[in-house]
């Protein structure tokens, strides 16, 4: 891993010298949050060979077997504490996978990396968690998991999950993909700092065909309602047309049908 980082040092921006690799941890997000609370600078990245308590949105578990995926979490600091940060990270991840593996990955709102080959399957996901230290120093930790290998743990989820190896027949080394991810994050981070929010949102829209004209179900106090996706707004909220009215969805359960 050291050699890969040395070779691509000029592409990595604030991530240079700030990557920690752990053979195993409970959750890379938990470890990154611990470091952020202790004052770790932006660009601090925790990578694990395995997670024993990996998690996704809404408390769901994320299978993280040893050596089978890229499990990592990155610390971001102001001025990047924006609702668009998760979408920006998704754009970077998709572009990195496309570049390194040649795999046509797409985004599904709000945080899923998907591959469609006959049926659509999940390749990875993103979990962003924000907070502040006792001194008031704010942070957002963006964690992501990308399935690299076709391991037996994923077989039971074969109807919904996939891996780069399964799709491409190629084993992509963790360090190679990590370098591409951090390089892409560095590029898109710079655009956020420059205020290029429209460029980020437009790229996300291009990479997320399901955000337009897809049928979804929304859970709400009055029960389940069905609608049609109508894109995202400037804050990254999903727009859904329900009974002739456009609603903003910022949280809660969205089922794609």
pTM of the model: 0.92
Topology (CATH) of 209-256: SH3 type barrels. (2.30.30)
Say what percent of the chain tops pLDDT 90: 72
Distance CA 79, CA 90 (A): 18
Show Cβ contacts of residue 130 under 8 Å, excluding neighbours closer than 6 positions: 81, 138, 139, 140, 141
**Is residue 87 pLDDT above 70, yes or no?**
yes
Q: Give the pLDDT of residue 155.
A: 45
Count Cβ neighbours within 10 Å for each residue of 120-148 and write b for 16 or more, e otherwise.
ebbbbbbbbbeeeeeeeeebbbbbbbbbb
Which residue spans within 2-64 are E strands per DSSP?
19-22, 45-48
| pLDDT tens-place string over residues 172-228 | 999 999 999 999 999 999 999 999 999 999 999 999 999 999 999 998 777 889 999
Domain ranges of the chain: 2-206, 209-256
Distance CA 37, CA 119 (A): 42
Label the pairing between strands 105-108 and 112-117: antiparallel
| pLDDT tens-place string over residues 218-228 | 987 778 899 99
CATH class of 2-206: alpha beta
Q: Give the pLDDT of residue 156.
A: 45
Lowest mean pLDDT among 73-82, 86-95, 208-217: 73-82
**Is residue 81 pLDDT above 90, yes or no?**
no
Token readout for 109 is 């709102």
Mean pLDDT value of segment 21-41 = 96
| pLDDT tens-place string over residues 35-68 | 999 999 999 999 999 998 777 665 566 667 777 8
Q: Same fold for the domain at 2-206 and the one at 209-256?
A: no
């Amino acid at each position: 891993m050291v050699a890969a980082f040395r070779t691509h040092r000029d592409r990595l921006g604030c991530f240079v010298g700030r990557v920690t690799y752990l053979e195993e941890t409970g959750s890379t997000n938990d470890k990154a949050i611990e470091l952020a609370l202790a004052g770790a600078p932006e660009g601090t990245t925790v990578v694990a060979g395995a997670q024993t308590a990996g998690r996704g949105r809404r408390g769901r578990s994320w299978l993280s077997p040893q050596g089978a995926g890229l499990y990592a979490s990155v610390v971001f600091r102001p001025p990047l504490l924006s609702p668009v940060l998760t979408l920006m990270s998704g754009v970077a991840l998709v572009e990195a996978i496309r570049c390194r593996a040649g795999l046509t990955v797409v985004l599904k709102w709000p945080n899923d990396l998907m591959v469609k080959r006959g049926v659509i399957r999940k390749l990875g996901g993103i979990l962003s968690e924000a907070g502040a230290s006792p001194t008031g120093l704010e942070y957002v930790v963006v964690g992501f998991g990308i399935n690299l290998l076709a391991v037996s743990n994923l077989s039971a989820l074969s109807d919904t999950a996939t891996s780069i190896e399964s799709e491409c027949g190629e084993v992509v080394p963790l360090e190679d993909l990590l370098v591409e991810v951090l390089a892409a994050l560095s590029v898109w981070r710079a655009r956020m700092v420059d205020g290029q929010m429209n460029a980020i949102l437009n790229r996300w829209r291009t990479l997320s065909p399901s955000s337009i004209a897809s049928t979804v179900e929304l859970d709400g106090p009055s029960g389940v309602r069905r609608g049609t996706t109508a894109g995202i707004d400037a804050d990254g909220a999903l727009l859904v047309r329900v009974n002739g009215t456009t609603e903003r969805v910022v949280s809660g359960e969205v089922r794609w049908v």
